[in-house]
Every structure is written in structure tokens, then in C-alpha cells.
Amino acid sequence: MMGACCSIFESSKRVGGRRGLGLARGQGARGIIRPTTLAPIGLTVMPSDSADCPALPPQQFKRAWRLVTIAGAMGMTYLTCITSAPRVKFLTELGASAFDFGLLASIPSVALAFQILGGVIARRIRRRKALWMGLVIVARMCFLLVLAAPILFVDSRARIWWIIGVLAFHDILGNIGGPMWMSWMGDLAPKESLSRKWALRQRYVVGTGIVAGVLVALFFSHFEKTGQVILGFTILGVVAVVIGVIDICLFAWVPEPAPAPPKRTGVWETVIGPLKDRDFRPFVIFRGYWTFSAALSFPFFGLYLIDYVGVSVRDTQLMSMAGSVGVVLATRFCGLLVDTYGQRPILLMLLCGKGLIPLGFVLAPPVPHFAIPILAFMMFIDGFFNAAFELSNQSVILRTTPRENRAMYVAVNNFLALGVGASLAPLISGAAIESMTGSVWKIGVWAFTGFHIMFLISSLMRFAAILFARHLREPQSATVPVVLKHLTSTNPLRVARWIYRLTDSEKDSVRAQAARRLGDFRSPLAIRDLIAALRDPSRKVRNAAADALGRIGNAEATAPLARALVDPALGIQSPAARALGYIGGFDSLKALLGNLRGLSKPALGETVDSLGRIGDSAAVLPLICLFSDVEDAHLRRRIAAALGRLSATPSPEAIIAMLGESRPVRTVQTSQ
């Protein structure tokens, strides 16, 4: 018997070479990477404080998030009415200049400084909801004073300065409440699927914005044609205020988790804390530079189309909806990408595309017939980029910041990253455009004005933002080449569609089918949701998810499959053992060797087969001992087959003959 064991062990060393316990993580059968196995994707494991914030029961969260989504849709309607193309026409009708537009574009950014005050207040109050609701309701009621400007003043400059002052007060109140709302929502949403929850909300919110934008354009078109611009915008503004107030009132029914007990720190330490965070500081620097670069151009896109190209307000409004359509179509898929791969690689890829957008305005012929389709298409593509860009930024804020000081992290980021850059850039750009009024530079068939010069500068600076994004800290995120490899290995949109069926369907058969299809695709994009499906209420779905993870063959699934292997309550020990064999690697080997006792006979058989499939010589002696301990003929044959794969012995019969059939048999304990 000892001689037979030594013979098999020596043969396994010749076949296995240097594998043993040194097998690299993620290797497949016989110590090599299987053709269908992709490299580990580096699923993002973000720091989470969810343990300190008890999650709402699923049904309660679902109801709360539905209200948050409905309220967000109404808030988007409010913003669409008061900030879109009709407002541009209203202000030009009152005599606003390019500099005035630049100043108005800067006000929201300057007002972000008051988020610091909001962050300090949020740390010193027990409940955020009531104060936030009061602040924002008052802010939205203030917009009625903007609509009253033509009645209150005759002088055009007095009207414009009144509007500037009212909008500044409107934005100050909103920004004081901003950190309170963001920290509240950060406590409410589950961390493990945060980006997808926000994506779902964003999808409905932006979709509502599209509908509202179309209705606003059609409604205002009548007043524009009849020369009643001020009357049309006044009616629009009153409706917007009513909707905006109802939006805030809906939050009365949204629960507020108790805020985390703040650490005993002074006001200065509270304010400076986010900047002392070495992981967060590069993000603030990147956002600040990016916002400055982008704000040199985007506040003037609408003015350029209306004043220079001659596009009507209706068509300008409808063109802006193209970007919203892009957001709606891309947002759910982008949320899946951010949750799976992390924020950093997604941002790096997006910046290449975002830099091209101002170039479209530079190169498009300034003739409505040509400019409208070209720029509408550019805005549509920009919507795709914006969906992922905003989700990535929001994920950093809500997922990586400490709960007890999250409101201040929100405030500091918004003020320094958005406030400073977005306030200075429109002022600089607006003043530059106004100073170049009447100047035209011709190069070939193109004629360049101040608009074009600033759009070109913005484009070049946007590309340079890649240098800052490279310094973002997210060590467990995937790399850009890995993300591109995964997205090009199969159709990612088809994969995403089946992922949604796996996570959203209430039918067991549909979820099980989705898990099987995801296994067919072998896309690492599905790993996170397949791992979650190992705990699905339906055993059929759990089985399919385990098999799919094995077919994908990525080492990220090893730990959850190992836990399923030792949890008989899940009832998927056999598929879990089989999947670990297909994944291979040291961790799979360790999990399988550590569970050769106490498994059911089917699961033990799958474990034996998997050890043979992995092909590591470390399994030889445990398998020989197991062969001596069992009396089931079928299981012995499977053990012999596994040993045959680990050695140069060609057949199970030869292994059985070498081990001998006459030795006494001890029965290994197995679950029936």
C-alpha cells in the first residue's frame, strides 16, 4: 500500500511540476489559465460604515426610495422650468449681457461656500430633515420674486441686478441644506448597490426632465412667437414653484436614520478634516480642475445657439433634451460599471470623450440647418458620458466618506471642487467673449469668434484633466485595460440586460434562466450579482448562480463559493464544489481540501472531481486517505479517476489496483 502511494505521489510530481501549494491564484485546471478564464477584475470593496447605520428593511427602503425618486422627478421639473432656454430668452428680453450670463452662471458656484455652514450645522443637530425641508421650501418660494422683477422695476439694469440678488439668496438657502440632504441619502441607501440605486433614481429623474423639457419648449414656443416672452416665463415659473414645493413636502414621509454621533472636534478641525484626508484630497483637486475647465464653455452653449447661430428657443430646448435622452439610456448600465469596476477607471475613460464636446461647437457650421443635427448628436453622446461621470463622482462622496463627518466632506468638495472653479470660469469666459464681440478670425472655411476661442480652450483643458484623474486613490479598483478587455470580450449591453433580469425579476424561473445565460456569456461584469444570487430564496437560482460562477472562472468568486460549500442550509454544496474546481487556484484548493469530511455523497463526489480538475499534487495524499476511508464503489472510482489526472497513471482501474482492494475499509462520515 505504501509503495503504491509513493508511486502515485512521484507520478503526480512529474506531471504537476512545481505547482503544489504554490499554484498562482486564479489558475485553472492543471495549473494553467483556462481559455475562458479572465484575470481577476478587482471588484471594488469600498470602505463602508454601514455597520454603524442599520439598514432599513427591504420593503421600507423600497417605499422610501420610491418617494425619493418621485420627489426627484418633480425637482427636475422645477429646475427644467426655471433654468432652461426660456430663462435665457426671458433674461435677454430684460437686457442681460454676456457678462450678466457669466455672472448668473457663477452665482450657484459662489453660493456653494455656504455648504460649509450647512456641514457645520448638520454635525450639531439631531435631525436633518425638518431644517432641510424648511430651507429649500423658502428658497423655492423666493423664485416668485424673480418673476416680479418686470413689475417692480422699470430700469433694465435694476431688473437684472434684482434678479441676480434674488437668485443668489435662492442658491444660498439651497446650499446650506445641501450637505444635510446628501448625508441623509448616504445613510439611507445600501452601500453594496449604491451606484445602481442612484442610477435607477437618475434614470426616472432625467426621463421626467426630458418630458418636462419638451412640454416647456412647446408651451413657451407660443409666447415666443407672439412676443409675450415675459408673460410666458412668468406662468412657467409659477407652475415650477408649485411643483418644487410639493417635491420637498414628499420627503416628510421618507425616514431619516439617526446621524452618527459626531467626534468631539472643533469647527476648524471639522472643516479642514476632508482636506487632510490623503485619499480624498486628490479627488477634490481633480474635481476643481475639471469643473473650471468645463465651466469655461458649457454655460454659454445655449447663448451661443440662440444669439450667434440663430436657433430658436424651442429648438435649443429640444436639442438640450438629446443629452438627457443619453443619460436615461446609459445611466443604469453606468451604475453597474461603477459598482463593479470602481470610479477611477470609469472616470479616466470618460474624460477622453468629454474633451471632444466643445470641439463640436467649434467645428459645426453656424447655420441652424447644419448645426442642429450635429450638435444634437454631440449632446446625445455627452449624455452617455454625463451619466457615468455623475455616478462616479457621487459614488466617491457617498461611499468613501466617513459617516460622522459626511456632511462636511460633501460641503468641502462642493465648495472647493465645484464652487471655486465654476464661479471663476464663467466670469472669465463671459468677460473674454464680451471683449471679443465683433472680432472674427477666419481660417479656411471656418470663422472663429470669442465663443469659439473659449470653447477650444475648454476642450484642451478638459483633456488635460486626465493627468489629475490618474492620481485618484482607489487601490482596489480595476485598471482601464482590464475594464476595456472585459467590455470587449462580449456584448456588455446583453450582459447588463440579463443582470437586470437576475436582480429585478420576481419569478424564480426568470432569475434562474438569467443566471444560466450569464454563465454562457462568461463576463466578469456579472460576478457581483451572481455572488449575491448564491443567497437567493430559490434553490434553483442558487444552483444556477454557482454553476455560472464556475463557468466564468474568476477567482473573485472563490470566497463566497467556499462559504456556500460549508453551508448545508443553502443546499448548493455540489454546484459550489464543482464551480471551485473550474475556478482553480490556491484558495479553491484550500476550500476543497478543508471540506472532505461531513459533505453529502454527491457533494463529496463533486469535490473529488474538482480536486482532480485543479491538478495540484497537494491533493494526492488527502485523496489516497479518502480512498482508504470510503466503501462506496462509485465514489472510490471517482477518487481513482481524480488521482489518475494527478499522475501519469492512465486509468482508474490501474489506480484501484495500485491501492489494492483487500485492505480493511473504514467508513468516512458523510451527510445523507
Indicate the pLDDT class of residue 658, thresholds 50, 70 and 90: low
434 exposed, middle or buried (CB, 10 Å; 0-12, 13-18, 19+)? middle
The answer to whether residue 398 sits within a structural domain is yes
Query: Does any domain span residue 488?
Result: no
Q: Is residue 641 part of a domain?
A: yes
Quick one: which of 496, 34, 471 has its CA closest to 284? 471
Interval 329-346: pLDDT, tens: 888 888 888 888 888 898
Residue 650 pLDDT class (50, 70, 90 cuts): low
- Whether 350 and 266 map to the same domain: the answer is yes
CA distances from 71 to 92, 198, 599 (A): 31, 13, 52
User: Over pLDDT 70: what percentage of the chain?
Assistant: 85
239 and 324 both lie in a single domain: yes
In this prediction, residue 147 carries a pLDDT of 95
412 shares a domain with 530: no
Residue 114 burial by Cβ neighbours in a 10 Å radius (0-12, 13-18, 19+): buried
Query: Quick check: is 366 in a domain?
Result: yes
* Residues 645 and 571 placed together within one structural domain of the fold: yes
In angstroms, the CA 653 to CA 637 distance is: 8
Residue 580 contacts residue 562 (beta carbons within 8 Å)? yes
Per-residue confidence (pLDDT) for residue 487, from 0 to 100 = 85
Judged by phi (left if over 0) then psi (alpha if -120 to 50, else beta), residue 415 lies in alpha
What is the per-residue pLDDT for 166? 94
Do 240 and 167 share a structural domain?
Answer: yes
Q: Any long-range contacts for 492-499 (C-beta under 8 Å, 24+ apart)?
A: 492/333, 492/523, 492/525, 493/333, 494/521, 495/521, 495/523, 495/525, 495/526, 496/332, 496/333, 496/336, 496/525, 498/526, 499/336, 499/525, 499/526, 499/529
The answer to whether residues 336 and 496 touch, using CB atoms and an 8 Å cutoff, is yes
481 located within any domain = no
Please give the share of the chain, as a percent, with pLDDT higher than 90. Answer: 23
Q: Is residue 478 part of a domain?
A: no
Co-location of 539 and 571 in the same domain: no
Q: Which of 469, 488, 507 is the last residue of a domain?
A: 469
- The answer to whether the CB of 211 falls within 8 A of the CB of 80 is no
**pLDDT value for 9:** 42
- Average pLDDT, whole number, for the chain? 81
Does residue 542 share a domain with residue 414? no
Residue 486 lies in a domain: no
Domain boundary residue, one of 509, 529, 552: 552
Asked if residue 27 has pLDDT above 60, the reply is: no
DSSP category for residue 75: H
Give the number of other Cβ atoms within 10 Å of residue 6's Cβ.
Answer: 10
| Model confidence pLDDT, tens digit, residues 156-176 | 899 999 999 999 999 999 989
Task: Write down the pLDDT at residue 659.
Answer: 65
Provide the domain limits for residue 20.
1-37+556-672
Q: What is the pLDDT of residues 555-598, one digit of tens each?
A: 888 999 999 988 888 888 899 989 999 998 888 888 888 888 77
**Mean of pLDDT values over 453-465:** 93
**501 and 648: one domain?**
no
The model's confidence at residue 651, banded by pLDDT at 50, 70 and 90, is low
- Note the pTM of the prediction, 2 decimals: 0.67
Statement: residue 136 has pLDDT above 80 = yes
Where does the pLDDT of residue 648 fall: very low under 50, low under 70, confident under 90, or very high at 90 and above? low
CA distance 484 to 650: 42
Cβ-count burial 244-268 (b if 16+ within 10 Å, e if not)? bbebbebbeebebbebbeeeeeeee
Mean pLDDT of 275-282: 83
For the segment 188-210, the average pLDDT, to the nearest whole number, is: 78
β-partners of residue 443 are 446
Interatomic CA distance for residues 608 and 598, integer angstroms: 14
Instruction: Identify whether residues 547 and 566 lie together within a single domain.
Output: no
Same-domain check for residues 547 and 560: no
Choice among 4-8, 428-432, 474-478, 650-654 with the minimum mean pLDDT: 4-8
Q: Where are the alpha helices (DSSP H) in 296-367?
A: 301-303, 313-341, 343-354, 357-363
Q: How many domains does the chain have?
A: 3
- CATH number (domain holding residue 536): 1.25.10.10
- Both 354 and 449 in a single domain? yes
pLDDT digits (tens, 9 = 90+) for 196-205: 777 788 888 8
In a domain, 638, yes or no: yes
Q: Of 255-264, 434-443, 490-499, which one has max mean pLDDT?
A: 490-499
Q: Note whether 318 and 285 are same-domain residues.
A: yes
